[in-house]
Chain A
Amino acid sequence: MGKSICCKKTLIRIILPLIIIITWEALAYLINNEFILPKIESILLVLLTPTADILGSGGLIGNAAISITRVLIGFLVAALVAIPLGIMMGRRETVHDFFDVTIQLIRPVPPLAWVPLSLAWFKIGITSMAFLIALGAFFPILLNTMDGVKGVKRTWIEAATNLGASEWHILKKVVLPGSAPTMWTGLRVGFGIAWMCVVAAEMLPGTNSGLGYLIMYAYNWGQVQVIIAGMVIIGLIGLIFDTFFKEVERRKFSWRELDR
């Protein structure tokens, strides 16, 4: 019974991807123009030789590694600033009021609108890219950290105080673990945005590596099968990271849902 439900679920989940692949392949043969719609086998060929050099700009794996490194740098910078700030804003009303207006003003500006400024300030290179990525990841991390800290129950803090905990103990043993699930959601959302930002940032003029660069470069050479293979890799890497974040959430922070 349970098994057949599980099988049915899997079946429903793969129907649409299968339809898309079959339709794609049919259309590709019909149109028969690799510049518009490459055949699945040409895309697979690129995907199955991920280390092979593509038009002198390196392989899929090499460029993916570069993109991942960049995103990790920007994401780390964002987390290192956003988490402490979020904790302070969640804990102290005055700190919140001090930063709130500025944050609300900057938040709606999309990271891409920062491109001209970041180029003017940091020139082309890892600094300007990390800056854009960090901007994208910053706000979800900040706001979720703040919400998480505000959601720490007063009785948890009072019980801890009453049992003799110092301010430092309360921060380390109550506020941090108590807000960690919400903070983790912020990191997860922030990472997703950071990953989108890195691909966009790599399309900027003057870049010469990374998955974003690779698909833009392939476009200039009319290699549509490389563009699509690159997009598949971008999607897969995003999915892998998101699954990692979700899995940690399920294992470590399940108490949030279960604790009424």
Chain B
Amino acid sequence: MNLLIEKLSRRFESEGGEAVNALCEISLEVMEGEFICILGPSGCGKTTLLRIIAGLEEPTQGRVKMNNEEVHGPNENLVMIFQDYSLFPWRNVTDNVEFGLEVRNIPPEKRRAKADEYIELVGLSSFRTNFPHELSGGMRQRVAVARALAVEPAVLLMDEPFGALDAQTRNLLQTEILEIWNKTKKTILFVTHSVDEALFLADRIIVLTARPGRIREIISVDLPRPRERTEPTFGALRKYVLSLIDQAKKD
């Protein structure tokens, strides 16, 4: 796995015809198996950055390289998990998880086995035949994670995946995603606006400035896992990152 982001910029034309810089010269080398959080104030272009990496949008300048090949359009190694789950409401859990395998023309028995494996990994084995509307928000997001994992990408791109969940479910899913990360050895890029979430999860935190989004600072979080939010070292780091975000808003 080799994911490289080189001097990436994105400009939008606003309705009045003036150009708005959403992202400015973002460069980043992602290590194999790393958990990276992209943190920044709202409107800093962090979602745009993730969408460009996922091949859902094109950059104005710069490039994304996956295993030394430029990314244009969907890439089998880069799979996105959206904030609003984006599950197909007419498919049950198993059929949702099988979707990516179905469009890759994997034979039915094989994709059923794969789907079962990942549904078990996210702890939803007893909900295989349930439909999304029968599941809670947290369970739906677990299905979305299983669906992404089923196509076995090298990198998971997660766009504020727990943003719509209540605090307890959110904390629970944070612990779960770390377990899944440990078991599957995936590389994860995780967009969030929660300092707490970033500190709990990440190996490295990429702090972006407000419009245009530039890299303000890259912070390595060396705290051992599982991290305790009440520890003084955690608190000190939180204070530091919050001050960075405050400055980032002013920049």
Contacts and interface: CB of A to CB of B under 8 A. Distances in A.
Interface of A: 153, 155-156, 158-166, 169, 173-174, 177-178, 180, 253, 255-256, 258-260
A159 B82 contact: yes
Contact of A164 (B86, B91, B103): B103
Given A155-B84, A259-B132, A163 B90 contact: no
B88 A156 contact: yes
Given A161-B56, A164-B74, A177-B90, A258 B84 contact: no
Interface of B: 54-56, 73-74, 76, 78-80, 82, 84, 86, 88-91, 99-100, 102-104, 131-134, 147-148, 151
Given A161-B56, A164-B151, 12 more contacts: A158-B82, A160-B99, A162-B55, A162-B74, A162-B80, A163-B74, A163-B100, A165-B103, A169-B103, A177-B90, A255-B133, A258-B133
Nearest to A153: B86
Contacts of B79: 162-163
Contacts of A180: 90
A163 B131 contact: no
A171 to B, nearest CB: 12
Contacts of B99: 160, 163, 165, 173
Contact of B103 (A153, A166, A253, A260): A166
Contacts of B151: 163-164
B54 A260 contact: no
Given A158-B56, A162-B74, A177 B84 contact: no
A158 B90 contact: no
Contacts of B100: 163-164
Contacts of A158: 56, 80, 82, 86
